[in-house]
Structure 1
């Protein structure tokens, strides 16, 4: 050590080093010693910690006696006796009686170490100097400062290793440590979702924001703190456990593992005063090795061997001389030249700027340049960008003596916005901190007071906004308040709003729907049971009150929806399920277990009473006939089948039973609204939307049909008054019948409309040539043609009509238009030219199928036929025209360029018994196959076995086929003429006991 260099290092006499691990009370001791002197200066590593110590001193000696001086803030009361500073802001020389420097082990830090080294070597108090830090500093301090007094203080509590735990399983009052902002935010988000929220502390946050976040944790609003190693620098926190989520960090130069002393500095935040603390790792970090754990627990670390150093003897004679003096090497062992810090890196860049080199020509200007280079890089931008900002400021200082206020105002204005998210606000805070530093530099601004107030106001506003964003993103206020109340062992107050919202301590925790309580999303953490328990206390009384209200509720307050749910005032309270009787479904209550005993029984009984009443009201005809006691024998059996089939029977399925019924039995069944139609035995009153919807629901419950395709989609069609509809092959076939439609191949027709069709067909088949004027559509008393009236009530096209009639079991005979006209002319006694087949009939194409269905109602009573319209007046909505009723409008026939062969006329006749039996089997098989081959192979087989003979299609384009077709037509015409000339049928004897005997005798006399 040379004499000149030794003279720069002050003696260690009068200096006391108070060393020891965390939680030894070193800072508290320094404050107590400071106020024992008439004046003093204390340097702290963080602005945040400086603020904390300043507050504690103000409480002891008053705010007028304490100054706060940092790079960004200056509170300097007149004649203040004590100064609290960051280490960088400490004066180079002082006359204060007391000087203290905290966390002196940072003298070994690569980035800031040289500043701490300078202060502990060269700054002394007149009466007392304290150096506070880790015990690892003892050898180097004793080496550099001969005569120093060292006092080691033991830790007041024990620090123990707790191993590895998942983040979501960490105990309350834990701090989770990571070393990047992204990782800190990710962990905080995870804790918010699982445990209610966490406070966030990063070095990049402004001191005001960090204070607010620390207060959030300290006041118990959250139980977790996620932070970087910034918490290791003197922050006094009530932390019970420290968990390392990372053990590597970027130190400004490289990524490296933390050494044992650094891990201990952070882990030492666990425990407070005499309360023991624990430390460990999360699942993302390998468990600590036993040796490392032992060293942390016993505070045994390698001593600091060298301190970072930069020459204090700075030469301002020129830029070159300044750079050379900064690069000087220490001449004392134990010191090492520090790597270029931010200020030195900026100087290296500026020394290459021609405009800076041209200006920095005097020692004063070189010193001003070095002063400008001290501007901290709060924005963490590239060194070249930071150098550009310094160059602008330096140019103003040299040319105008102060920074241009217009430039300053523009920079401040850009940062003065509180909108945006966390990253945006953090960037604005870093920007405004730069200008806060500028405003606090002596001599840099013409009106520094204005700008100090302005920048401080903006930084505070941005800091508050950032704290709000952090809290909103990472803290669930509801859960945090509840957890705080639970820790206080307070009784949680719960209430329920009129719309079912459940609040605990004023926070929305769930929703009560009917008799079921659901916690809101995000309530799955450890507080869920406590919250639910508090809510259940209020729910128990509410359930009883609701049960009483439901028990007394009117039927208008209850509703049964198409999904099988029973709703009370809109909320589901029960669902229906199948039972042994289709008209009596089971009621399954939808309620939590808290609805018990009599209250539950009352609710179930009321819902069952409503369901039974609703079914018996909407399906009154079906309910009445199911309960009929005056029906006997075959009538009772037929009524049972009607109920089992929910109001609709195909007549063909019960043909024998119907024939066997006498008039008295028929009258007894008809009294309950049953209609004996030509094709169906049904209850017309059920062919309305409300009964049809309920019938469909009951069937779906019995047959697991709620999810089958087509469920509920046919009811709107029925409500719209559609008389027929194009079928959808994907729908469950039964739904058509339940909705009141008869499935007939490509089209489904409403049941009552089919019976009206039967009423139109029956006179055409009963007409006898020569007895009266031929009705429209009648042909020869045995066959008929489709008429406009038929198309109108069906809402169908001629092609649809052909499909419908075939589905009903009618057989088609084809004749040419000329043959039909000649035959009708003969029947009507008019010239052939004046007679023509009905227009509707001429539009038909030849039938190619032999599908069959049930026979026409030859056994229907005359009273039934005559009263068709009266019986359906209430059940059937007003029919629309074909286009309005859902049928496709027949396209206008285009005029052919060349004469085309006239289309054949289809003459429809009832199928024979053999046709009907075979057709019935075919139709049933076709229904089971989904209607994909309706009227194809079965029709051809039926034609070969005695139905309409097979023939070639006119559309096949084969001349031979057309000639064969015309020949077949002539043969069928000849057979029809011979059939008309057949001998009369043998008369059947008249039963003298029949009520219709006299009427039958009168008819025979009229024929004769």
Structure 2
């Protein structure tokens, strides 16, 4: 099964980390007319792509991975992942495979083994790997010339250390997301924060986190074992938080070669490094002692490990005559003793699961269909959901692929669904994993219409999500203030300490405290460790800060001001009173008598400064000011202006029955809507004035003296008089715009279902916090009636019958002149000739209606008696 094609010079360069193997491969490729290198990580391929592009130029350099494809028409140098590299070398003059020892990995090993056996350059082939690969490599590729390269620097064991005692420029390695987060949180408290690197992060996010560490903004990086795959970091010490991991089958202790791969990240080029473990955890994590044995320390320091004797293999050229033949070829066992059958990877597991589904298998009969189906099953499980969940995703994908291409509209909609940079760290990681799946799909040449456009959209969304995730990680795990103080702790004279306009004391643009008069107060959010650092940093600079403070107090007489109880205050001292004017949004300031002793020039300057400050504070009332301006516009019409004036008087909320809507011409209502006025089912209101800031300001100015709910929640506890902006809903109160949202949803459901009795979902009122009995009473006010099923009897199980709703249009708002003729007059009786106010029988004053009288029988001799028989 070894390579049988044209022979080329095969060179195997083996050695531990920090031996310059990758750098050598780049140099050799650039010396040839063309070349390709396969890497284990997309991140590493991108890093080398940037380096080669700087040497050879953009026009001849390509980056090809599962999710990204940058391939200029004249590209001659390809940097790619092992899965994406040409299986036979692609006819390039130079071909290299990095980290070839991954051929012993359970999940991806067969890919690296296949490239090791078949990927060849016309002129030169280079295989890069660790020393344990040599025995099996000599048997599988006997023509290879093996070179061993020594490590440039020394790696020594430093023993155990507490997290708070780790040296700067350290990397802490953990093997679970929970442990990574816990360690990063502790480092935030002790050392100002840490960068985070995990395999689940997108390459862009990992790049940003690595840059956070490389730039020196943080001195620590917490990572999973993904750090061991070629990331070039300025790490001087590697600390293991655990020495065991789950390998997909069981929890096991790391092999010495795996330990060395990770520990080897310490020390770059000729800078020595060290490795050790974290202490303080009881000496044992997950049943495994958290310390290296003497044998492991010796193996890591001397780079001596047990040799690899077998690599995983899977048939890379299966037949596609049928699904059964394909599965049989993929499960074929190798004939060479140095190769062993690869464990069932997720692509094969998905293939077998979907092949057992008759609805799918019956449509996969031709060789072309079988090949295309196998390509769909090879979609990577970026979301790490497992074979069952991933098989369902592939099955849905196949429903479109089996016929033709995926439509551009469909793909664009799926990408747009994921373009949401909000949410926490886990949510963003899930979206990035999902968008990586679509990025992979969009890179396939025969899967998606408008492939280039869709691939560009997917990359753009991944970049936005990566930026958001980097921001969340930095916000959670980096305390820049502590990090800055730690870096300047040895010499505080090097720190830049300033006082800003709000009396905050800043160290390197990070707040450490404030000045209260001439007294320094440490920032309240600082813990005990930070307080000590802040005081040390501020002590040497305090005299200059206090001198600056004295100068500013002369120029700024009043300091910080607030508005409360109809006045402007400086602390507990009143500075000015607020007088209402004809326009509630533009009150007037009147200085207190205590400031009357100022000379005219200073008093004028102070008044002008206060007016500018006060005008800025009134910004939340801009919607009310727009109403006041509209009330002066005669083109609006007297009827609409009357409603506007009522809204101004009642601070933006009027009950519908008091709004006088009946007299407002319909052609004037669009003008009201342009002003932001909403005419609801029960209320007329201005939504912009229902926010916390304007409501609180209106109350402090004295414009609205009604009760206030500071946060303006959707639903609050009710009372006899609900707060401003609310209406009663049973025993609760609901904000009028939230009530209108419920009414609108009910009307939409009524129109959509088009029935006398219709159904409503209770999710919306429940999400607002509205109890069902109060919800029913609120809806009744708007003309809706509900019939709910009785609770199930004891012992009876099941879901209760859904509620049914009906709506009866309430009496329309009427113009006074349109009142019926009987308004204000007693009604006539129901009997012709009846007296006003009387009963149907003509009797007045009775409460009960008269019983119907039996018809009088005609006498036999009467002329009408003969007609009785003719009446039916």
Instruction: Give the TM-score, by structure 1 length.
Output: 0.53
Shift of 1:147: 2.2
1:422 aligns with 2:425: yes
Q: Secondary structure at the match of 2:494?
A: coil
Q: Give distance in 1, aligned partners of 2:319 and 2:85.
A: 21
Q: Give distance in 1, aligned partners of 2:79 and 2:40.
A: 11
Aligned with 1:248 (options 244, 255, 275): 244
Q: Give distance in 1, aligned partners of 2:292 and 2:75.
A: 49
1:337 aligns with 2:333: no
Aligned with 1:290 (options 294, 299, 306): 294
2:405 — aligned with what? 402
Q: 1:498 to 1:118 in 2, by over 3 A?
A: closer
Aligned with 1:307 (options 305, 311, 318): 311
2:152 — aligned with what? 156
1:317 aligns with 2:321: yes
Q: Give distance in 2, aligned partners of 1:522 and 1:56.
A: 44
Contact residue 319 and residue 360 of structure 1 kept, 8 A: yes
Q: Give distance in 1, aligned partners of 2:486 and 2:59.
A: 40
1:177 — aligned with what? 173
2:729 — aligned with what? none
2:668 — aligned with what? none
Q: Secondary structure at the match of 1:192?
A: helix
Q: Give distance in 1, aligned partners of 2:531 and 2:266.
A: 27
**Superposed CA offset, 1:691-735 (max 9, x none):** xxxxxxxxxxxxxxxxxxxxxxxxxxxxxxxxxxxxxxxxxxxxx
TM alignment of 1:584-595, pairs within 5 A: none
Aligned with 2:40 (options 23, 42, 45): 45
2:104 — aligned with what? 108
Q: Secondary structure at the match of 1:161?
A: strand
Shift of 1:74: 0.2
Shift of 1:413: 2.4
1:328 — aligned with what? 332
Q: 1:490 to 1:512 in 2, by over 3 A?
A: closer
**Superposed CA offset, 1:203-251 (max 9, x none):** 0100000001001110111101000011100000000110011111122
Specify which structure has the higher proportion of helix: 1
Shift of 1:360: 0.7
Aligned with 1:192 (options 183, 188, 193): 188
1:22 aligns with 2:17: yes
Shift of 1:149: 0.5
Q: Secondary structure at the match of 2:514?
A: strand
Shift of 1:465: 0.6
**Superposed CA offset, 1:314-352 (max 9, x none):** 011111000100111100011100001111011011111
Q: Give distance in 2, aligned partners of 1:34 and 1:488.
A: 47
Find the structure with the greater CA-based Rg: 1
Contact residue 415 and residue 438 of structure 2 kept, 8 A: yes
Q: Give distance in 2, aligned partners of 1:532 and 1:115.
A: 58
Contact residue 59 and residue 72 of structure 2 kept, 8 A: yes
Contact residue 231 and residue 266 of structure 1 kept, 8 A: yes
- Structure 2 segments unaligned to the other structure (5+ residues): 284-289, 560-569, 574-872
Aligned with 1:143 (options 139, 160, 166): 139
Q: Secondary structure at the match of 1:84?
A: strand
Contact residue 13 and residue 148 of structure 1 kept, 8 A: no
Aligned with 1:64 (options 56, 59, 68): 59
Q: Secondary structure at the match of 2:134?
A: helix
Q: Give distance in 2, aligned partners of 1:59 and 1:304.
A: 37
**Superposed CA offset, 1:523-576 (max 9, x none):** 5688766643331122134457889999xxx9x99xxxxxxxxxx9889xxxxx
1:372 aligns with 2:376: yes
Contact residue 257 and residue 300 of structure 2 kept, 8 A: yes
Contact residue 48 and residue 207 of structure 1 kept, 8 A: yes
Shift of 1:499: 5.3
Shift of 1:515: 5.6
Q: Give distance in 2, aligned partners of 1:101 and 1:54.
A: 15
Contact residue 160 and residue 291 of structure 2 kept, 8 A: yes
2:118 — aligned with what? 122
Contact residue 496 and residue 538 of structure 1 kept, 8 A: no
Shift of 1:252: 1.9
**Superposed CA offset, 1:917-948 (max 9, x none):** xxxxxxxxxxxxxxxxxxxxxxxxxxxxxxxx
2:78 — aligned with what? 83
**Superposed CA offset, 1:870-915 (max 9, x none):** xxxxxxxxxxxxxxxxxxxxxxxxxxxxxxxxxxxxxxxxxxxxxx
TM alignment of 1:757-772, pairs within 5 A: none
Deviates more, 1:79-88 or 1:401-410: 401-410
TM alignment of 1:419-458, pairs within 5 A: 419-458=422-461
Q: Give distance in 2, aligned partners of 1:535 and 1:147.
A: 68
1:511 — aligned with what? 514
Q: Give distance in 2, aligned partners of 1:306 and 1:525.
A: 56
Shift of 1:391: 1.7
2:257 — aligned with what? 261
Q: Give distance in 2, aligned partners of 1:100 and 1:488.
A: 49
Q: Give distance in 1, aligned partners of 2:213 and 2:297.
A: 27
Contact residue 136 and residue 308 of structure 2 kept, 8 A: yes
**Superposed CA offset, 1:623-674 (max 9, x none):** xxxxxxxxxxxxxxxxxxxxxxxxxxxxxxxxxxxxxxxxxxxxxxxxxxxx
Shift of 1:110: 0.5
2:389 — aligned with what? 385
1:473 aligns with 2:476: yes
Q: 1:525 to 1:204 in 2, by over 3 A?
A: farther
Q: Give distance in 2, aligned partners of 1:157 and 1:310.
A: 38
1:539 — aligned with what? 542
Q: Give distance in 2, aligned partners of 1:487 and 1:50.
A: 40
Q: Give distance in 2, aligned partners of 1:27 and 1:240.
A: 20
Contact residue 489 and residue 537 of structure 2 kept, 8 A: no
Shift of 1:354: 1.2
Shift of 1:410: 3.3
CA RMSD between the two structures = 2.8
Q: Give distance in 2, aligned partners of 1:308 and 1:427.
A: 31
Q: 1:479 to 1:305 in 2, by over 3 A?
A: same
2:207 — aligned with what? 211
Q: Secondary structure at the match of 1:225?
A: strand
Q: Secondary structure at the match of 2:78?
A: strand
Shift of 1:140: 0.7
Q: Give distance in 1, aligned partners of 2:367 and 2:524.
A: 67
Q: Secondary structure at the match of 1:89?
A: coil
Q: Secondary structure at the match of 1:359?
A: coil
Shift of 1:12: 7.9
Q: Secondary structure at the match of 1:403?
A: coil
| Residues paired across the two proteins, number | 553
Q: 1:512 to 1:394 in 2, by over 3 A?
A: same
Q: Secondary structure at the match of 2:315?
A: coil
Shift of 1:505: 1.7
Aligned with 1:492 (options 488, 491, 495): 495
Q: Give distance in 2, aligned partners of 1:488 and 1:436.
A: 49
Shift of 1:182: 1.4
Q: Give distance in 2, aligned partners of 1:82 and 1:126.
A: 14
Contact residue 101 and residue 129 of structure 2 kept, 8 A: yes
Shift of 1:185: 1.1
2:353 — aligned with what? 349
Q: Give distance in 2, aligned partners of 1:475 and 1:206.
A: 19
